[in-house]
Amino acid sequence: MPQVTFTRNIQRHVSCPACQVDGTTIGEVLEAAFSANQMARGYVLDDRGALRNHMVVFINGTAIRDRVSLTDAVPADAEVYVMQALSGG
Amino acid sequence: MSNRMYVATRKGLFTLDRGRGGASEWSVSRTAFLGVPVSMVLPDRRDRFVYAAVGHGHFGAKLHRSPDGGDTWEECAAPAYPPAPEGEEWRCTARNIPIPQSLELIWALESGGRDEPGVLWCGTLPGGLFRSPDRGSTWELNQALWNNPSRKAWFGGGMDYPGIHSIVIDPKDSRRVTIGISCGGVWVTENAGRTWDCRAKGMWANYMPPERKFDSDIQDPHRMVACPARPEVLWVQHHNGVFRSRDGAMSWQDVETVKPSTFGFAVAVHPAKPDTAWLVPALSDERRIPVDGKVVVARTRDGGKTFDVLRDGLPQRHAYDLTFRHALDVDESGDHLAFGSTSGSLWTTDDQGDHWHTVTANLPPVYCVRFA
């Protein structure tokens, strides 16, 4: 199962503990991570379900390419990091 | 007289309470959301709830509410745009960029009428107007305005996208709502948002091409306020000057007499005297600084025929404070005002501006000042 870790920066506003979830695309993985934590969803994704403009997601150290439909593939043993882009700071 | 005010800033929300010494005795009593931009604050005079809109650089715009005047806060729902119809894309006609159907910023919050407890109105970037029936627990986009074909003419003013910054609910008829849009003119509904009319006749924009400068739906009202006792009288600080309406926005008259400049962002009107209004002029569009480095407030008591330039107690040497559109407020008595600046200063008066007192010069840039 992919392991998802959220930036410390976000924890100040909404609790986002690291978790292991099912999913083969980053969209599925994030939806699974947010399924029990709907408040956190809006901190990472916008109204359209796209990645927020100043957020970044890494899969095994590589930033995702499809920030709108979130179709990047996620290997079963992947490490996923959700963090803020410095552009928004 | 109000003994409390809320100041929303680039780095948090500040609650100030008044001591016994009048205008010189305001002090910060509480902070909230420190380090986070607070784009708007609304103390709801109907029920003591306070609402704070925060705009996280990374995590988006959120809304928080307090049931106890700011002692405790809980996050409530932020307005959310419904999905755009498949294949539909609205583009800014001025710059040909797509307008996202997504919340960018909460720029205006107002209480509904006295006869509709818990109702809130919210103006946003990129131009959507929302209504909540339940103190911000749920929100609904006003589709009639959002889908109005005239919206295609709107464009951003100081922002990437158009935005609703002013919402006036008629105290005598809650169904009558007037809004100001940068840049999209002034719009009025008489039926709680079912239909809308653009009413900016008389406004003009000298900075536009000659054939467009009188178009109603591209006007840039920076801030619009109405006299609560005479809600048909509206004042607007516009990008191109100052305008006043005496007929509920059906027509607007250019107020050219403002001294020392007709440019600025903020305007306030007396709650009972529609001819008394205050502005905080800046030099010009190209140079958004006080005229001659002197912070002043312009006040009229005769509907704009003449203006007093009020400077007692305000910095008069090398001061470069700009006052944003929501950063000037007058309380329910009409005697007490406060305004804040981009340089973090906050001033108050107890005599309609004849004398000012510096509360602090060390706040973060001030976005919004509101008396409780």
Report the alpha-carbon distance of residue B265 to residue A67 in Å, rounded: 37
Work out the number of other CB atoms within 10 angstroms of the CB of residue A77: 9
Q: Which of A10, A47, A48 sits opposite B59 (nearest CB)?
A: A10
Looking at every residue in chain B, the average pLDDT score rounds to 96
User: Please, what is the Cα angle at B298 between B214 and B241, to 5 degrees?
Assistant: 10
User: Please, what is the Cα angle at B273 between B272 and B279, to 5 degrees?
Assistant: 110
Cβ-based contacts of B58 with chain A (< 8 Å): 9-10, 52, 54-55, 84-85, 88-89
Report the alpha-carbon distance of residue B342 to residue B9 in Å, rounded: 9
Rg (CA), chain A: 12
Q: Which of B60, B78, B80 sits opposite A52 (nearest CB)?
A: B60
* CB atoms A54 and B57 under 8 Å: yes
Give residue B86's pLDDT.
87
Alpha helices in B58-205, H assignment, sequence order: 143-146
Q: State the nearest Cα–Cα gap between A27 and chain B, in angstroms.
A: 17
- Whether B354 and B348 have beta carbons less than 8 Å apart is answered as no
Strand partners, A81: A5, A58
User: Please, what is the Cα angle at B200 between B196 and B203, to 5 degrees?
Assistant: 170
Mean pLDDT for the stretch of residues B48-64: 96
Identify the closest residue of chain B to A45 by CA–CA distance: B59
Report the alpha-carbon distance of residue B50 to residue B172 in Å, rounded: 23
pLDDT tens digits along B304-317: 999 999 999 999 99
Cβ-based contacts of B101 with chain A (< 8 Å): 47-48
Residue B2 clears pLDDT 80, i.e. is over it:
yes
- Label each residue of A16-54 as H, E or C: CCCEECCCCEHHHHHHHHHCCCHHHHHHHECCCCCECCC
Q: In chain B, what are the domain boundaries?
A: 227-372
Residues of chain A falling short of pLDDT 50: none
Give residue A88's pLDDT.
66
Q: Best interface-test mutation with A: which of B56, B59, B76, B102 has the largest number of A CBs within 10 A?
A: B59
Cβ-based contacts of A46 with chain B (< 8 Å): 60, 102-103
Q: What are chain A's domains?
A: 3-88 (3.10.20.30)
Cβ-based contacts of A50 with chain B (< 8 Å): 102
Q: Which of A39, A48, A52 sits opposite B58 (nearest CB)?
A: A52
Is the ipTM reported for this complex over the cut 0.95? no
pLDDT tens digits along B93-137: 888 889 999 999 999 999 999 999 999 999 999 999 999 999 999
Share of chain B above pLDDT 70, in %: 100
State whether residue A48 sits within 8 Å of chain B by CB: yes
Fold of the CATH domain B227-372: Methylamine Dehydrogenase; Chain H (2.130.10)
* Strands B277-282 and B230-238, sheet pairing: unpaired
Largest alpha-carbon pair distance within chain B? 61
